[in-house]
Structure 1
């Protein structure tokens, strides 16, 4: 498993834009498929997605593959990821 983050310096473009900027946390497998995803917004709202909770009214689990290089993120530990999970 791989764990990394990506800071998003733009607000959402929907009715939740006032949530502010966000930091995204990803857990991916060896095939770079996103298994778990957490988004923490500036106003402290948090969304979480995995195979048991693919989407809700606020968003959904990233489809396809994703690597740290594609999102210019930072590597984090499994422990750091699961503190938020």
Structure 2
């Protein structure tokens, strides 16, 4: 069963795209917590979208860790599938 999350990251990238600012991440993960689809919306405007058929590009890529293995409680970041799908569609 897929799970969906929205989480604000109050840190910048720390790379050549650091000026993009902080970001909001939308994640769809599988039963084991592995990212299946991911959207990253930066404060300054860029939006990155990763999933099947587009796992990475010159700016980044789909998460390479299970959220279940990160030792964090993600329950407070849960969103509805429809919220994720709306973000996915608008990012495309």
TM, length-normalised to structure 1: 0.88
Of the structure 1 ranges 28-37 and 72-81, higher mean CA displacement relative to structure 2 is found in 72-81
Unmatched tracts of structure 1, length 5 or more:
none
More strand by share: 1
Q: What is the root-mean-square deviation of aligned Cα atoms in Å?
A: 1.9
Q: Per-residue deviation at 1:49?
A: 0.6
Secondary structure class of the residue paired with 1:18: helix
TM, length-normalised to structure 2: 0.82
Aligned to 1:70: 72
Alignment of 1:4-83 (within 5 A): 4-67=5-68, 70=72, 72=74, 74-83=77-86
Deviations 1:53-82 (A, max 9, x none): 010011000013114972755111111111
Unmatched tracts of structure 2, length 5 or more:
none
Per the alignment, do residues 38 and 2 of structure 1 end up closer, same or farther by CA in structure 2, a change over 3 Å counting?
same
CA distance in 2, matches of 1:63, 1:50: 12
Q: Per-residue deviation at 1:51?
A: 2.4
CA distance in 2, matches of 1:75, 1:43: 24
- Alignment length, in residue pairs? 85
Secondary structure class of the residue paired with 1:52: coil
Structure 1 runs of 4+ with >3 Å offset: none
Contact 1:6–1:71 at 8 Å: present in 2 too? no
